[in-house]
Amino acid sequence: MKTFLKGLVVAALATFAPMPASADTSEINFGIISTESQQNLKQDWEPFLAAMSKETGVKINPFFASDYAGIIEAQKFNKVQIAWYGNKSGMEAVDRAEGQVFAQSVNKDGSQGYHGLLITNVENTTLNSVDDIKKCDKSLSFGNGDPNSTSGFLVPAVFVFGANNIDVKSCFKAVTNANHEANLMAVVNKQVDFSTFNTDTMKQIAAQEPEAMKKIKIIWKSPLIPSDPIVWRKDLDAGTRAKFMTFFMSYGRQGTVEEVKAAREVLANLGWSPFKPSSDAQLYPVRILEVSKALSKVQMDDAMAQADKDAKLKDLLAQKAEFEKLMGEIPQT
């Protein structure tokens, strides 16, 4: 097992560009995206962060923010050095905050993805499918996700609203943006007619508030979304990167039977099993979705001159084709 883990860590580190040698970092801030209440997040994350600190010898400070942008900005200005993101916010961190994907979460059932959802209150008999939200008569209130959320914003923007030419701002009488838990409770309490949600958060909250789950019904489910990335700043010194790669690849895999069991229980409370190595290539699917969203926006823009529209569409289609080509070149595991 130790030989396997050593090989896994060495191979993973070899995919990253070498950094100048420097003294190891003694303290880091770990960013945690706001998918639910901070109290719930702290409860689930504290044992994991404690284990991370113990195994790496680095003091770990949890960094919570009220929205995804807060973590991205904190990483940009080096107030956060490593963070857990969704794929959309992870892409923003890579593009704007010196981020680099190095690990990927794996669901506790072993699957490597989850689904975005649209949900409504179970007592709402008028909403049963996407067809029921397409009327665009400003009669419905909608709980949208954080703009940097993959499942809560980008995926429904492409697969539901873009695909059906629905302009969120003009179709609904009210649109609010919130995290997954807040949107769930807004549906449960009938404060909005429907909202975005996802299967990962559903599993987490079902364990904490099972009664809430009985009050919702799913009216749309997305294609599979790749599991969440863990992102570090590219300028972390080589020694620190090696420590954290070793921790993420060995946690829940290495140790005594009791230690492995305890680690897997901690991961299970986060909805995970042991991590796998990853890279920025994980973000290609979400980049394709971003381009698809932009294509839909341009196609629906009646104010844009046709020549400008044609040029923009040509550029976006070329970008999409390039990302699709890169995706096709990723070795399948």
| Residues 297, 200 share a domain | no
Do 105 and 243 share a domain, yes or no? yes
Low pLDDT (below 70) residues in the chain:
1-24, 330-333
Domain that holds residue 129: 113-226
Q: How many domains does the chain have?
A: 3
Q: What is the pLDDT of residues 139-176, one digit of tens each?
A: 999 999 999 999 999 999 989 998 888 989 999 999 99
Of 244, 262, 280, the one marking the end of a domain is 280
Query: Which residue, 226, 242, 262, sits at the end of a domain?
Result: 226
* Of the residues 197, 226, 255, the one at which a domain ends: 226
CA pair distance 266, 76, nearest whole angstrom: 29
- Answer yes or no: do 263 and 317 share one domain: no
Give the strand pairing for 141-144 and 174-177.
Answer: parallel
**pLDDT at residue number 115:** 93
What gap in Å lies between CA 194 and CA 218, rounded to an integer? 10
**1-46 residue pLDDT tens:** 444 455 455 445 545 544 444 556 899 999 998 877 777 788 899 9
Regarding whether 117 and 214 lie in a shared domain, the answer is yes
> Can you read off the two tokens belonging to residue 233?
């700043």
Same domain, 276 and 288: no
Same structural domain, 220 and 117: yes
- Kindly state whether residues 232 and 107 are assigned to the same domain: yes
